[in-house]
Chain A
Amino acid sequence: MLCIKNGVVIDGISSKPYKADILIDKGKVIDVRENIEISGAEVIDATGKWVLPGLVDAHCHLREPGYEYKEDISSGTRSAAAGGFTSVACMANTNPIIDNAAMVNYIKSMAMAKGVVKVHPIAAVTKGQKGEELTEMGELKEAGAVALSDDGKPIMNSQLMRLALQYAKGLDMLVISHCEDLSLVGDGVMNEGYMSTVLGLKGITRAAEEVMVARDIILAETLDAPIHIAHVSTRGSVEVIRQAKRRGVKVTCETAPHYFSATDAWVDGYDANTKVNPPLRTDDDVEAIKEGLKDGTIDIIATDHAPHHRDDKEVEYSLAANGISGFETAFSLAYTNLVETGILSMVELVQKMSKRPAEILNIDAGTIQVGKFADIIVVDLDKEYTVDVSKFYSKGKNSPFHGHTLKGRVIYTIVDGRVVVKDGQVIL
C-alpha cells in the first residue's frame, strides 16, 4: 500500500482543489480523504505540494521502430514519466508505419516490456501514410489503436479525407488531422513574416495551416463526424475552430507548449532547435493561442514530443529536422506561461493536460477517483529550475528552452500505483 499524504489534490472532477490523503492498493486508488492513518503503508509526504492525475499526452512520437537512435519506447516513456505523463498516445509515423494490426500489437508489447508509462498507439489513416488508400481501421481498433492519424503528413486529397472521416465515424474512431497544405508550404522552413524576411529563410504562410483546418472542419461538419485538429498554431485556426464549435461541429483541438511559449523571433541565430512543424509563429498568434486555451476553443495541451538526434539538428536550418523534445518541459512551460500568468487556473490546467485528453482518446485515465487506476503525480509549483537538455531522459536533446528558467516541477510520477519518478528522478 502507498499513501500520499498532506498534498493539495486536484482530482479532475471537483471544481476546486482540496486537502486530502490518497491511499493506493494493488494499482488502484482505494481511498481519498483527509487524514488517512494506515500502518504499514509506504508514505509519500506531499506537504506543500500538489497532487494531480497523471498527465495524458494525446500526441507524441516515440520513434520506435525505425528511428531508435532518436528515441525508443524505453527512453521515451522514461522521458514522459519525468515530465509527469502516465499515459501517452504515440503517432504512427514510425518505420514501418503503424498501419496494420501487427504493428499496433508490436508497439503495445514493446511498451509492456520496456515502457514505464502507458502507451496507446495511434494508427495511420492511410496505408504507409501515403494518402492513397485507407487502412483497415476496424482491425486497427480491435488491436487497440486509440485513434487514427497520418500525423507528420497532411491528407492532401480532400475526397480521401472525407471517406476517412466517414468510415472512421462508423467505427467510433477519432481522426486526428495534421493540417498543412503542402502547396502553400512549398520549401518554407519557418513562419512567413518579418522574421523570415530578416533571416532570409523561406516562409510558411499561416494560411497553409488555416485552409486545411477550414477544409477538415467543413468535411467533418457535412458528415457530422468528429475530428481532432493537431498542433494548432495560428490566430486564424483558433478563430475558425471557435466558430465551428459555436455551430456545434464535433471538433476538438490541441496546441503544444511551444506555441504559447515561443515565437518566430527565437529563430534568430538559426538554431535548428527552434524548427518545428507547424513553425513557431508571432506574438499575436501566441496571444490568440492563450485566448483559445482560456475560452475553451483549444481543448487540450499535447506535447508533440518529437525527439531528434543532434546530427539531424546541427545542420543548416533548411535541412534540419522538425521537432522539439517536449515531454520534460511541457508541464513547467504550461504552469509558467499559463497558470502563473493567470490565464488558466490549476484546475483548468489539469483538465487540459489530463482529463480532456483522456476523454478525447477515450482512455481510462485523467482523474483521481476511488476504484480507478492510481496514475498520479506530485508537483512542486514553487520549484524554479533551469532547463538543461543534458539531463533529459529523452534521447532527444533538441529544445529551444535549454537554459530557460521555468517554474513548477514534477516530483513524483506514479503509474498503476508504482512509483516511477521519485524526487524528480526516474527510478525504474
Chain B
Amino acid sequence: MALKRKDLLGLRGLSRVEIEEILTTAEEMKSLLLSGSKESSLLQNKSVVTLFYENSTRTRFSFEFAAKYLGAHTASVAVSSSSVAKGESLIDTGKTIQSMGVDVIVIRHPMSGAPHLLAKHVSASVINAGDGINEHPTQALLDMFTMKEKKGAIDGLRVAIIGDILHSRVARSNIWGLTTMGAEVRVAGPPTLMPPDIDKMGVKVFYKVEEAIKDADVVMGLRLQKERQQKGLLPSLREYTRLFGITEERIRLAAKDALIMHPGPVNRGVEIASELVDGEQSVINQQVTNGVAVRMALLYLLMGRNQDAVY
C-alpha cells in the first residue's frame, strides 16, 4: 500500500481513492497512538526535516511527533522569512538538506507555490505544511478525518466554512478535499475576503452567514488576521463579529449535532464565541490529536512508495 506520488503538495488533484487511503491509514495510526505505542519502527532509517519559513509551533510539532512515533530521525530548520527576501535560494536550501540524506522535507512557506518549486528540484518527498494562501493539505486531511470519525462518512455532509476565505489555505485545501469526497461545501464571509470565481471550484457562496450555517453538519471557523482591518478589507473587528461571527444563536440554525471546527489558534470572541470553542459540539481539541495520526499516515504512505511512483 502506498501513494503513487513523490510529494503531497495539495489536495487539488488528489483522487478520492488516494484521500480514502490516507484517511484509512490514519485510523490505524490513531489506534497505534491510543494503544500507547509510540515506538513503531515503520520509518526506521528514514529522515524527516521540517523546513519552516513561517512560525507554526503546533504544525511543526505535529509533524515531528508523527515522524518520531514512526521511528524516523527528525530535524527542524527554521528560516526567517527575511532570508527569503535576501535572496537565499529555496532551491539551494533544498538541495543542501537533501545532500544530508533526508527522505522527506516538510515545508511551510509564506509564498504560494514554494513547495511546488522545491519538489521540482529535489528527489526527496516534499510535504506542503502550508504555502502562502494556497493550500494546507494536512490540516484539511485532519479536518476530514475528524468529520469522518464523528459523522461516519464525508459523502453528503453539509460543511460551512466561515470567514476570511481569500487568505485561507485551510479553506482551499478543505474545498478541494471535501468536494472530491462528495460533501456539499458552503463558504461565507465578507465580499472583500472572498476570492473571485470561487463558485467555479464547486462551492456555494454566501454573504449572509446564517444562510451558510442553516442545516450544516459542520461549521468551520477560520482565523481572522487582525491586519485585514488596516488593509481596508474590513471596517472593524466589531462589525465582523456582528455580521460573520459564529455565535451561539447562529449555531442553532445548523443541524442539531453539528460539529464546530477551527484550525486554530482561535481569536476567541472574534470569529467564534468563546462558549462554543469549549462547548459540547466543539471538536477543536480532537482535531489536534487527529493531526498527528494523519501526518503519521502520510509519512508512512509516502515513504512506502515503490518504484512505480510518479516522479
Contacts and interface: CB of A to CB of B under 8 A. Distances in A.
B89 A315 contact: yes
Contacts of A396: none
B295 interface: no
Given A193-B196, A194-B196, A270-B116, A199 B90 contact: no
A311 B87 CA distance: 9
Interface in A165-204: 192-194, 196-203
Contacts of A203: 195-196
Q: Which range contains the number of B residues in contact with the other chain?
A: 20 to 34
Interface string B4-35: 00000000100000000000000000000000
Given A311-B89, A316-B90, A318-B132, A199 B113 contact: yes
Contacts of A317: 111-113, 117
A196 B111 contact: no
B199 to A, nearest CB: 9
Contacts of B109: 316
A192 B12 CA distance: 19
A315 B196 contact: no
A193 B12 CA distance: 17
Contacts of B89: 311, 314-315
A55 to B, nearest CB: 35
B197 interface: yes
B113 A196 contact: no
Interface string A313-349: 0111111000000000000000000000000000000
A236 to B, nearest CB: 15
A200 B84 contact: no
Nearest to B114: A316
A319 B85 CA distance: 8
A197 B193 CA distance: 12
A269 interface: yes
Contacts of A196: 195-196
Given A192-B196, A196-B196, A197-B197, 19 more contacts: A197-B198, A197-B200, A199-B112, A199-B113, A200-B113, A202-B133, A203-B196, A270-B116, A270-B117, A314-B117, A316-B90, A316-B111, A316-B114, A316-B117, A317-B117, A318-B112, A318-B113, A318-B132, A319-B85
21 contacts: A194-B197, A196-B195, A197-B196, A197-B200, A200-B113, A200-B131, A200-B132, A200-B133, A201-B112, A201-B132, A270-B112, A270-B113, A270-B116, A314-B89, A315-B89, A316-B90, A316-B113, A317-B111, A318-B111, A318-B113, A319-B85
